[in-house]
Amino acid sequence: MEKADTGGMGQDTILDIVDVRKRYGASQALKGVSLRVQRGEFVALVGPSGCGKTTLLKQIAGFEYPDGGRIAIEGQDMAGVPASERPTSMVFQKLALFPHMTIAQNIGFPLKLRARPADEIARKVREMVDLMYLKPEYLDRFPQQLSGGEQQRVALARSMISAPKLLLLDEPLSALDVKLKKILQAELKRLHRSLGVTFVHVTHDLEEAMMLADRICVMRAGEALQVGRPNDIYYRPADSFVAGFIGETNLLDVEVIEVRPDAVRYRAGDITDADGLLPRALAADAIAPGPAKLMVRPELLAMAKNGEPYPSAITAEITETFGKGGAIQFRAVTPGGQPVVVEVPGTSHWPARLGDTVRLGWHKRDIYLLQERA
């Protein structure tokens, strides 16, 4: 298996981004981003707005050229290659369907530009329409006459008709309502599997990224903070920003005393800990002695009943409770004043009440030590 956080090295690399920088006036939109994408992969670029994910996509598509660094597609340097000559295809956030063309003309447009014969275009358009589950009678309509979801399918069809090597998706689902979004997410997943095309998908919706992507690249302020499989990103975040950005979590104050090749020794404040020693793999790569956070996801905390032994645990008083249907969430505060969130599977009788003092325990394999980014 490939190494998760760097991507594979073999000749199957389709997109190789090395130290790409881009500046708009005074602001540095990309501060040296590197990313390697394998053929057939589904990679999601996530991050808060303004993190540079769309900027990076524009450099890949060729709408803009980077100030520094290098982008190669299938080993070919893309410097100076205009968008029209790249083997990429973009699905735009606003879809960008041509209002003066029919659906058939929209979908067939990339082939028309390649001067393909009319009958071939018509045949391919039909194939795309079938692939996207669009009704054939839509072919002669104009984009404005279709619903949002249908327009979305047309945009995808147009992007894929020219069989691009790399499909770039710029938050195409962000404007849809939740139900439609779910349907189209499933659709994207299906397409990716059936076509074998490489997808690079920009989104600020984490759940979407976790659901769809083989790997996720988390970005902030023009930097790629971490690249990895969704599970790694979720349970082994590189720093406290990634940990906090990817879902709700608990970050408890600890102090790293010693980093050894095989283990990390730390001292906990509120935590009753058997030995304060963790295997090296359960701490971030960049960990160093000093203040650090112990991360444990809410659903991995357990409410310890009397006599149940947990090697590590923390005492806290419950301040809020939420029923979430499938789960119950408790918010609590430790005697040292640290907030803690616990999520337990929903049951008909609640295991604790407001004001109770409970012991929250965890298995050592479920925690991760990390630090603020320097």
Q: Decide whether 73 or 246 has the Cβ nearer to other proteins.
A: 73
Helices (H), 161-239: 178-195, 206-212, 230-235
Residue 50 CB, nearest approach to other proteins (Å): 19
Q: Decide whether 57 or 358 has the Cβ nearer to other proteins.
A: 57
Which residue is it, tokens 């903070």? Answer: 225
Which residue is it, tokens 């340097």? Answer: 77
Q: Decide whether 27 or 319 has the Cβ nearer to other proteins.
A: 27
Residue 54 CB, nearest approach to other proteins (Å): 12
Q: Decide whether 82 or 311 has the Cβ nearer to other proteins.
A: 82
Residue 192 CB, nearest approach to other proteins (Å): 19
Residue 63 CB, nearest approach to other proteins (Å): 5
Q: Decide whether 127 or 273 has the Cβ nearer to other proteins.
A: 127
Number of Cβ within 10 Å of residue 139's Cβ equals: 19
Q: Decide whether 61 or 301 has the Cβ nearer to other proteins.
A: 61
Assign 18 to helix, strand or coil. Answer: strand
| H or E, element range at 339 | strand 339-345
Residue from 371, 19, 66 nearest 224 by CA: 19
Residue 166 CB, nearest approach to other proteins (Å): 11
How many Å separate Cα 318 from the centre of its chain? 32
Residue 174 CB, nearest approach to other proteins (Å): 14
Distance CA 217, CA 206 (A): 11
Q: Decide whether 150 or 239 has the Cβ nearer to other proteins.
A: 150
**Which residues face 48 on adjacent strands?**
none
Distance CA 252, CA 247 (A): 16
Residue 268 CB, nearest approach to other proteins (Å): 52
| H or E, element range at 220 | strand 215-220
Strand duo 42-46 + 215-220: pairing? parallel
Q: Roughly what angle, to the nearest 10 degrees, separates helices 148-160 and 103-113?
A: 20
Number of Cβ within 10 Å of residue 342's Cβ equals: 25
Chain contacts with other proteins (rule: CB under 8 A): 61-63, 82-85, 88-90, 92-94, 96-100, 102, 109-110, 113-114, 140, 142, 158, 162
Distance CA 41, CA 21 (A): 24
Q: Decide whether 60 or 278 has the Cβ nearer to other proteins.
A: 60
Residue 94 CB, nearest approach to other proteins (Å): 5
Q: Decide whether 114 or 190 has the Cβ nearer to other proteins.
A: 114
Distance CA 360, CA 310 (A): 9
Residue from 69, 141, 137, 136 nearest 100 by CA: 141
Which tokens is 124 given? 């391919």
Residue 348 CB, nearest approach to other proteins (Å): 51
